[in-house]
């Protein structure tokens, strides 16, 4: 119960990694505000799971790429739960096309949600925590895309690289207020979002080639987020935790090039 008595907001938490984070925070004792964009039924299902754990929850529908929307969400979370102590920026959007052929509406949408949404959330949460005067902790769900130039994902790569640097800068600026900011790099995680880009067969076959022979699970990311938000990580800020089953190690590139 590392987070007992704390109040959190997780963006994009109706499914996938966000859902895993929300559940693990609740299991660690936190009350959790849920944000979703289009998956209302899944958000309501999550709320029931959180309440079954004995925690309080509220649900907010909203597009994090709109500054006013997320600022109101932060205010409403604090009003409903009593404070905002923890914030997890998770909501993303991504299209996959080579840059020369990319639909620029999708390209811009990826930047707006993944980068600007993270910034608006970080800023609004930080302002609320500063005003409360008791510190706080923030986790930014980023990606190995922040450092790997993965083809067909230029907008997503750009956005994730930006929020990594955003988070490290914020960690320094917020340190005097005792607000910590840390970054999480999940690897290939078994989420509904992956089905936008891959068939079930491709996911099954792709998983076999990973170092552990499987995809990661959302709750595995959630457990790491619960740790970095807790007082067990009280001296950690501006750090990046990679949870990718070894994909980013040299083993992966050597395997692909036939070097064993």
Catalytic positions, written as ranges: 156
The phi and psi torsions of 12 (rounded to 5 degrees) equal 60, 45
**Cα separation of 195 and 122, whole Å?**
28
In 3D space, the residue among 86, 24, 84, 91 whose CA is nearest the CA of residue 61 turns out to be: 91
Residue 9 vs residues 199, 210, 255: alpha-carbon distances, Å: 32, 32, 40
Question: CB count, 10 Å around CB of 143?
Answer: 26
Cβ(191)–Cβ(248) below 8 Å: no
The phi and psi torsions of 61 (rounded to 5 degrees) equal -90, 135
In the beta sheet, which residues pair with residue 88? 10, 139
**Cα separation of 259 and 145, whole Å?**
24
Q: What is the DSSP letter of 37?
A: S
**Cα separation of 144 and 244, whole Å?**
9
Q: What is the DSSP letter of 176?
A: G
Cβ(239)–Cβ(211) below 8 Å: no
The helix (run of H) or strand (run of E) holding residue 163 is helix 154-174
- Please, which residues have CB within 8 angstroms of residue 201's CB and are 6 or more apart in sequence? none
């Amino acid at each position: 119960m590392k987070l007992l008595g704390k109040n959190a907001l997780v963006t994009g938490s109706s499914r996938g990694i966000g859902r895993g984070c929300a559940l693990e925070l609740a299991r660690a004792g936190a009350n959790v505000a849920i944000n979703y964009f289009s998956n209302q039924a899944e958000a309501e299902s999550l709320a029931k799971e959180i309440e079954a754990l004995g925690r309080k929850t509220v649900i907010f529908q909203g597009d994090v790429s709109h500054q006013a929307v997320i600022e109101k969400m932060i205010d409403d979370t604090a009003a409903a739960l009593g404070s905002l102590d923890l914030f997890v920026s998770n909501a993303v959007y991504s299209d996959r096309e080579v840059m020369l052929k990319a639909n620029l509406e999708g390209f811009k949408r990826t930047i707006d949600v993944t980068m600007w949404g993270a910034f608006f959330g970080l800023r609004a949460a930080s302002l609320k925590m500063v005003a409360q005067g008791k510190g706080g902790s923030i986790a930014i769900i980023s990606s190995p895309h922040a450092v790997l130039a993965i083809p067909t994902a230029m907008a997503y790569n750009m956005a994730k690289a930006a929020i990594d640097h955003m988070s490290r800068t914020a960690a320094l600026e917020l340190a005097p207020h005792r607000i910590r900011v840390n970054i999480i790099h999940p690897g290939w995680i078994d989420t509904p979002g992956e089905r936008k880009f891959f068939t079930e067969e491709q996911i099954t076959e792709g998983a076999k080639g990973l170092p552990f022979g499987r995809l990661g699970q959302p709750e595995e990311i959630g457990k790491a987020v619960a740790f970095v938000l807790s007082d067990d990580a009280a001296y950690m800020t501006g750090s990046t935790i990679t949870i990718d089953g070894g994909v980013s190690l040299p083993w992966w590139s050597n395997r692909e090039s036939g070097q064993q």
